[in-house]
Amino acid sequence: MNSQILDGQRVAEEIKDNVRNRVYEYEQAYNEPITLATIIVGNDKASKTYVKMKSKACREVGIHTMEYILPEFTTDGLIQIIESLNANPSINGILIQHPLPKNIDEKECFDKIALEKDVDGLSSHSFGKMSFGEDAFGSATPTGILHILDFYNIDVQGKKVCVVGRSPILGKPMAAMLLNRDATVTICHTKTKNLQEEIGQADIVVAAVGRPELIKKEWLKEGAIVIDAGYNYVNGKSVGDVQNPSGVASLYTPVPGGVGPVTIATLLDNTLIAAEKQQALIQTKNYGGKQYIKEGIK
């Protein structure tokens, strides 16, 4: 099998070029910047690296960031910050880097993010609306995976897709998004009886596990498409959740250079869309300045 790479870097560059142009147009039209608030709680090194990469990408396309780094914090304190960002008309999007420390009630905090600013689709409200196919931001990684599929004209309708992993930020929203595109979706997790068999039946495998090379090359159906969202460090090297599927898969995302860069580009795109929608609302509904943000968009 002649395997081809789904080049995430290329997809990300295209999204970023588009965002950069639209950010410029936005600033010309409204004479104000677009701003993403980023929040890190705790001392997780990987989280700090991810947020640094996201902030750098924001700067590259002209999006401003307001960064909160909170080494030790409480649920109540974090909720206060989220509510003040919801009410701040200069903030267009809110990103809370996960995982949060164990002492923080993650769900309670995520659910406080205003729908129109939830650019990483973290709240139950966003997840619910996205699952129903309504207007809401989906989590950036699975949304980014859809961007990869679209870039390469991969139609999932009627295809058997096996999503391995069911986390609220990746596996579950991924499955909902694929279902919305009429794929036949199987979700696997630690209690799945025969993972190898499930994977062997799939036309498309989405790996979102966090276990280096858990999915073996020989488990894959000949010609399957492999999307590997996994990002694991092994002996100083980044490794996916799937053994390099070259020779068996028809198309696959490499690690690094696959899903990762598209996730970041998608976050920028979502932040811009959030700002554009907030402006459209101000223009069309004349909410009296930007006070609408205090009430939230109804």
Nearest CA-CA partner of 137 in 18, 274, 293: 274
265 binds ligand NAP (CB under 6 A): no
Question: What residues are paired with 187 via a beta bridge?
Answer: 163
Pick the stretch among 24-32, 69-77, 121-129, 185-193 that binds ligand NAP (CB under 6 A).
185-193
Q: Of the listed 54, 112, 117, 172, which one is catalytic?
A: 54
Query: Is 189 a residue that touches ligand NAP (CB under 6 A)?
Result: yes
- Dist. CA 242–CA 220, nearest whole Å: 10
* Phi, psi for residue 273 in degrees, rounded to 5: -60, -40
Of the residues 62, 165, 245, 254, which one makes contact with ligand NAP according to CB under 6 A: 165
DSSP conformation letters of 245-276: -TTT-SEE--SSSSHHHHHHHHHHHHHHHHHH
User: Residue type at 224?
Assistant: A
Determine if 141 is a binding residue for ligand NAP (CB under 6 A). yes
The residue annotated as part of the active site, out of 120, 228, 241, 269, is: 120
- Closer of 208 and 272 to ligand NAP (Cβ): 208
For ligand NAP, give the closer residue by CB, 62 or 173. 173
Residue 238 sits in the site that holds ligand NAP (CB under 6 A): no
Size of the site for ligand NAP (CB under 6 A): 26
Task: Report the alpha-carbon distance of residue 205 to residue 214 in Å, rounded.
Answer: 13
Residues 33-72: x/- map of binding to ligand NAP (CB under 6 A)?
----------------------------------------
Distance CA 53, CA 49 (A): 6
**What b-and-e string marks burial along 1-20, b requiring 16 or more CB atoms within 10 Å of the CB?**
eeeeebbbbbbbeebbeebb
* 268 scored as a contact of ligand NAP (CB under 6 A): no
Note if 120 is an active site residue.
yes
Binding site for ligand NAP (CB under 6 A): 141, 164-167, 169-171, 188-192, 195, 208-211, 214, 229-232, 259-260, 263
For the annotated catalytic residues, the residue numbers are 54, 97, 120
